[in-house]
């Protein structure tokens, strides 16, 4: 089980740093959570700042949100995305992530994912982590496969993510971490 007191504030990589969600990140989070990212996640293209703040505050108090990190680019020090781990019974699956499209490629998400997965498996006894990815979200499927995630063929296309979207369940196991 995940230790609720396990609260490392910062995971520092070469090109990105993961920082636990804090209230002073809310505005930057809102600004970087772009219409394109929202479309890929199957949610409406825009929202008011207050809606984002309400959502983030709810996540901070939600026991199903076990780890909520914002991704910062080490060069520009900008908040460029987020990566979260939810409990296994959360309707959106365990792993959730996004990176603003101006920062796609270049290894930032790969490093963010690697930092998160390392921390997750070091701080819990869990053996797997899974995510749901819309079947037409090719970029996300490829990004996760590059890290070692595999499509769970037994549940293929049986889950829904966003409105009317079929999704794959993708799985990463502890054994895949660093040999
Ligand atoms: C998913 C996400 C976090 C990945 O970050 P990223 O920086 O784009 O990922 P990467 O660049 O590491 O990997 C994407 C890979 O997909 C490949 N790719 C992109 N479009 C592709 C396509 N149409 N066909 C085949 N490969 C494609 C890229 O070439 C890249 O692989 P490469 O590095 O071997 O060239 C980011 O794209 C994102 O935020 N998307 C919107 C929100 C989202 O989908 N979140 C995930 C929900 S499950």
> How many domains does the chain divide into?
1
Q: Which residue, 163, 175, 127, 167, is CA-closest to 151? A: 167
Condensed to tens digits (0 to 9), the pLDDT of residues 109-162 reads 999 999 999 999 999 999 999 999 998 999 999 999 999 999 987 765 555 554
Please tell me the distance from the alpha carbon of residue 3 to that of residue 16, in angstroms, as a whole number.
25
Q: Which residue, 104, 100, 107, 94, is CA-closest to 15? A: 107
Q: What is the CATH number of the domain that holds 116?
A: 3.40.630.30
pLDDT of residue 154: 73
The structure's pTM equals 0.93
For residue 107, which atom of ligand 1 is closest to its CA? Answer: 12
Condensed to tens digits (0 to 9), the pLDDT of residues 7-44 reads 678 999 999 999 999 999 999 999 999 999 999 998 99
Condensed to tens digits (0 to 9), the pLDDT of residues 40-81 reads 998 999 999 999 999 999 999 999 999 999 999 999 999 999
2 occurs within a structural domain? no
3 occurs within a structural domain? no
pLDDT of residue 178: 72
Please tell me the distance from the alpha carbon of residue 103 to that of residue 121, in angstroms, as a whole number.
26
73 occurs within a structural domain? yes
User: Where are the alpha helices (H) located in 66-137, listed in sequence order?
Assistant: 108-123
Please tell me which residue, 94 or 166, carries the higher pLDDT value: 94
| Ligand 1, residues at Cβ distance < 6 Å | 37, 40-41, 97-99, 104-105, 108-110, 131, 133, 137-140, 142-143, 146
5 occurs within a structural domain? no
**Over pLDDT 90: what percentage of the chain?**
80
Q: How many CB atoms lie within 10 A of CB 78?
A: 16
61 occurs within a structural domain? yes
Domain that holds residue 63: 10-176
């Amino acid at each position: 089980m995940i230790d609720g007191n396990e609260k490392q504030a910062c995971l520092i990589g070469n090109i990105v740093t993961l920082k636990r969600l804090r209230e002073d990140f809310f505005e930057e989070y809102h600004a970087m959570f772009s219409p394109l990212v929202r479309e890929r996640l199957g949610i409406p293209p825009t929202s008011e700042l207050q809606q984002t703040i309400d959502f983030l505050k709810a996540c901070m108090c939600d026991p199903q949100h076990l780890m909520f990190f914002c991704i910062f680019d080490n060069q520009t020090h900008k908040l460029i995305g987020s990566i979260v781990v939810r409990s296994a019974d959360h309707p959106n699956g365990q792993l959730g992530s996004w990176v603003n499209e101006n920062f796609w490629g270049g290894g930032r998400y790969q490093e963010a994912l690697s930092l998160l997965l390392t921390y997750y498996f070091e701080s819990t006894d869990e053996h797997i982590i899974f995510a749901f990815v819309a079947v037409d979200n090719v970029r996300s499927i490829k990004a996760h496969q590059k890290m070692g995630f595999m499509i769970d063929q037994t549940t293929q296309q049986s889950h829904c993510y966003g409105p009317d979207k079929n999704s794959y369940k993708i799985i990463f196991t502890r054994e895949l971490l660093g040999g």
